[in-house]
């Protein structure tokens, strides 16, 4: 390796994910020299192995679901005779590549210098970057740590067996498992459950807590649970996986998610398929003939159940990548695995900032965007803070969930006298026209002032509808303003208006 190159810059950013590249772009807009240090692809997990590729594949499963479940209602007698998953994967890869190339060009146009390699912090103003071919010494005045997060892998016997996969590996499958056990009912697990269920896999979700999506409003999560059960997804809540193992020779076989019973006691496959007709699995390129895996789960009462499955997906959440040796040696304060920052995104070391997943909290790409901007603006002398009560979140299940601000439970915990407004999509003209009856809009208001504290949406295009409530929550808008605002008709957004109307019932104007 040749002698180390030396680069001086005003701002050095360790990590090229959402927080890192947004901080770099904002620094460039403010006229400051900026370097991004990234070991892998620009765009981080979100663009390359998370948000974007998952949503690209969810589009495939959405199309399959519509044909399978909605076409007859719309007067179209159609069925899917085959599914080319490799073509869907190739499309996903094109989407990712196009976005990554666009991002790289945007950074180049803004004169952001990207250094590829593993960055090691020497001190608050020096980072060493090592690649296969060279070493670079970066000197900076301000350092922003944006190293993101990594999968949280539970300590389960058998977790490293063939057939147990992470979300990264699930995004690269070339065929569909006939059965799949997903460990974790957070956003990642629920989205993959929707995806594989729509592609005819038998999906079972195992969750330690007694609810799905524990960070979401309980009423909304409960409604989604009912819908996904109707779609055929099995849930084992208040349960934990004790072991994953290869099938034992001579053991009995059973369907994923069902109680183990002798082969002779099971209903013949032909009878089941006659009773519940479905497209032939051969047409879907389903992985067949594998012995697969056995998953031993235990519920809260200590009862054990065995589930036979072809694959297991680990979706137990993510954790900040903060405990690298160089960051530890730097002396940055870390609490519960996350770097501690103040409201300006500055760490306990002057001139060192952190943003995105590495500081913990809600691990959302769009929140990382905002934190990256706040960090660099403060680093460059422009005091900025972030309103965490106005950060939307979305779960791209079928149907979607979106939320912003305070849930009903959180508003009550904070001492508000709460007035809730609701409106069901089954009463919305546009929803009925689309055949998307499931779900509701829920508005949380302060009963004494009528101020919108937050809102939750369960239904089609919830991720597109939440921005209206986000704006209202951020500005402290009162419910009567959205109730009186003219919405297009027919439109799904009218459900937001009607929920606000409902929140005003019985209140004096």
Which sequence positions are flagged as catalytic? 489
SS (H, E, C) 250-291: CCCCCCCCCCCCCHHHCCCHHHHHHHCCCCCHHHHCEECCCC
Q: Distance between CA 213 and CA 464 in Å, rounded?
A: 20
Q: What stretch of H or E contains 352?
A: strand 352-354
* Distances 180 to 33, 233, 292, 311 between C-alpha atoms, Å: 48, 10, 10, 5
Residues in contact with 60: Cβ distance below 8 Å, sequence separation at least 6, in sequence order: 85, 88, 91, 199
Q: Which of 232, 228, 245, 199 is nearest to 438 (CA)?
A: 228
Biggest CA pair distance of the chain = 76
Length, in residues, of the chain: 509
Q: Which two tokens stand for residue 157?
A: 């016997």
Q: Distance between CA 323 and CA 339 in Å, rounded?
A: 9
Q: Which two tokens stand for residue 277?
A: 């007709």
Q: Which two tokens stand for residue 220?
A: 């909304």
Tell me how many degrees the CA angle 230-234-235 measures, rounded to the nearest 5.
115
Q: Which residues are bridge partners to 404 per DSSP?
A: 455
């Amino acid at each position: 390796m040749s002698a180390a190159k030396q680069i001086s810059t005003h701002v050095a950013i360790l990590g090229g994910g959402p927080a890192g590249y947004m901080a770099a772009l904002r620094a460039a807009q403010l006229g400051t020299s900026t370097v991004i240090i990234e070991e892998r692809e620009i765009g981080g997990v979100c663009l390359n192995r998370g948000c974007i590729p998952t949503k690209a594949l969810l589009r495939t499963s959405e199309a399959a679901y519509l044909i399978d479940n909605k076409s007859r209602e719309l007067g179209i007698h159609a069925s899917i005779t085959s599914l080319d998953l490799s073509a869907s994967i190739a499309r996903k890869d094109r989407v990712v590549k196009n976005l990554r190339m666009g991002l790289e060009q945007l950074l180049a146009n803004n004169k952001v210098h990207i250094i590829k390699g593993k960055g090691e912090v020497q001190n608050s103003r020096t980072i060493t970057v090592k690649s296969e071919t060279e070493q670079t010494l970066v000197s900076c005045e301000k350092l922003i740590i944006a190293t993101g997060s990594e999968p949280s892998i539970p300590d389960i016997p058998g977790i490293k067996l063939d057939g147990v996969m992470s979300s990264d590996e699930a995004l690269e499958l070339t065929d569909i498992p006939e059965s799949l056990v997903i460990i974790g009912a957070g956003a990642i697990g629920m989205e993959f459950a929707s995806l594989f269920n729509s592609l005819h896999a038998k999906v079972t979700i195992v969750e330690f807590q007694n609810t799905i999506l524990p960070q979401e409003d309980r009423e909304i999560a409960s409604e989604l649970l009912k819908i996904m059960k109707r779609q055929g997804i099995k849930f084992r809540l208040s349960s934990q996986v004790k072991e994953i193992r290869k099938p034992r020779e001579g053991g009995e076989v059973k369907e994923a998610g069902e109680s183990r019973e002798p082969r002779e006691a099971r209903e013949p496959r032909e009878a089941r398929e006659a009773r519940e007709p479905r497209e032939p699995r051969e047409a879907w390129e389903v992985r067949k003939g594998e012995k697969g895996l056995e998953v031993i789960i235990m519920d809260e009462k200590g009862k054990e159940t065995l589930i036979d499955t072809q694959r297991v997906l680990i979706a137990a959440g993510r954790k900040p990548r903060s405990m690298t040796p160089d960051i530890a040696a730097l002396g940055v304060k870390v609490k519960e695995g996350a770097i501690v920052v103040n409201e300006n995104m500055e760490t306990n070391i002057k001139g060192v900032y952190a943003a995105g997943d590495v500081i913990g909290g809600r691990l959302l790409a769009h929140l990382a965007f905002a934190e990256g901007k706040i960090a660099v603006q403060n680093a460059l002398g422009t005091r900025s803070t972030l309103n965490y009560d106005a950060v939307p979140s979305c779960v791209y299940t079928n149907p979607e969930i979106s939320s912003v601000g305070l849930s009903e439970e959180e508003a009550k915990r904070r001492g508000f006298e709460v007035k809730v407004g609701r409106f069901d999509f089954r009463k919305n003209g546009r929803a009925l026209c689309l055949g998307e009856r499931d779900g509701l809009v829920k508005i949380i208001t302060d009963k004494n002032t009528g101020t919108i504290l937050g809102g939750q949406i369960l239904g089609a295009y919830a991720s597109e509808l939440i921005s209206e409530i986000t704006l209202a929550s951020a500005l402290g808008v009162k419910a009567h303003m959205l109730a009186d605002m003219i919405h297009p008709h027919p439109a799904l957004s009218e459900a937001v208006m009607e929920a606000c109307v409902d929140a005003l019932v019985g209140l004096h104007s």
